[in-house]
Amino acid sequence: MADNVVEKHDLEPDVWSEWLLHRRHADDPAYAQVVQAVVEGYADRVLEGAQLADGMTLVDVGAGEGLVAFRAIDRIGPSLRVILTDVSAPMLGYAESVAVQRNVRAQCTFLRCTADNLKGIADASVDVVATRAVLAYVADKRAALVECFRILKPGGRLSIAEPILQDEALYARALRRRVEDQSQPVDRLLTLLHRWKAAQFPDTEEACAKSPIANYSERDLLNMVRGAGFAQIHLQLHIDVVPSLITSWEVFLGSSPHPWAPSLKQILAERFTPDERQFFEQMVRPTVESGKNVTTDRAMYLQAQRPFS
């Protein structure tokens, strides 16, 4: 299996690399360390479900910065082979540079492809397929899961972690209904909150139905995994209502919740008047900086097996 060649002209920043390497943590080094610790926890749960062993081959689908693949190598050692796939050429280039720095390049194969077309990987050829926050952004999740099934050996394992963002869209829709309800008095803050949230998540039923991040629940994913042919399926939904990790106003402005979402800073600049920006900051900034802002994180962890027959 040969590596895909990533040309230098392909390494211009794209939405995926721009978010992963910059906008996810607002280019703030201290907050970047906080985010790294959180995503390492996600990756470790994926690897616990993967049940890797010496001599296996792991496919890290939508590998991004290669976190799952490299932590797997740290666990298993030089006998593990890893295939890192990603649609983003800049992220593959970044992951390859990390592999060189870690002196594990010889264990890695890098393939540029989409999750629903894992071209270059033969049928029934790998032991484990892992994903972390990948299917959420794939329009045809069923096709992606069929591809995962195809490349796994009989008895091979699927281990995934996915954010469940549907409730964020439902909140945006609820704000829209409240703002458009002419029987209620106009609430300036709610109007601005809706404008912010609607820029990051779909806020109508029709838009939600078309959005890969909002048109599914954890139960939908479970049924898709079953439909792809997997067995021995185990799903856990984790919902954590916790104080926000962001207590800096600049980080709050500069970060965004997913790769397709503009930052609040961009939204304020493009969709708010100066007077609205001032009012919004007066109302929201004290809560952010007080450390009392509460967030709800929803993540699904799922493991499954390709049957032996």
In the predicted model, what is the mean pLDDT of residues 130-140?
A: 96
In the predicted model, what is the mean pLDDT of residues 23-33?
A: 96
In the predicted model, what is the mean pLDDT of residues 44-56?
A: 97
**Rounded to two decimals, what is the model's pTM?**
0.92
| pLDDT of 71 | 98
Phi/psi at 134 (5° precision): -120, -55
For 155-195, write each residue's pLDDT tens digit.
999 999 999 999 999 999 999 999 999 899 989 999 999 99
Is 70 exceeded by the pLDDT of residue 1? no
Q: How confident is the model at residue 282 (pLDDT cuts 50, 70, 90)?
A: very high
Is 50 exceeded by the pLDDT of residue 256? yes
Is 50 exceeded by the pLDDT of residue 228? yes
Contact 87, 112 (CB under 8 A): yes
Is 50 exceeded by the pLDDT of residue 5? no
| pLDDT of 309 | 82
In the predicted model, what is the mean pLDDT of residues 89-110?
A: 97
The fold of the 8-164+217-242+297-305 domain, in CATH, is: Rossmann fold (3.40.50)
Please, where in the chain does CATH 3.40.50.150 lie?
A: 8-164+217-242+297-305
Q: How confident is the model at residue 11 (pLDDT cuts 50, 70, 90)?
A: low
| pLDDT of 67 | 97
Average pLDDT of the chain to the nearest whole number: 95
Contact 123, 97 (CB under 8 A): no
For 184-214, write each residue's pLDDT tens digit.
998 999 999 999 999 999 999 999 999 999 9
Q: How confident is the model at residue 7 (pLDDT cuts 50, 70, 90)?
A: low
Is 80 exceeded by the pLDDT of residue 10? no
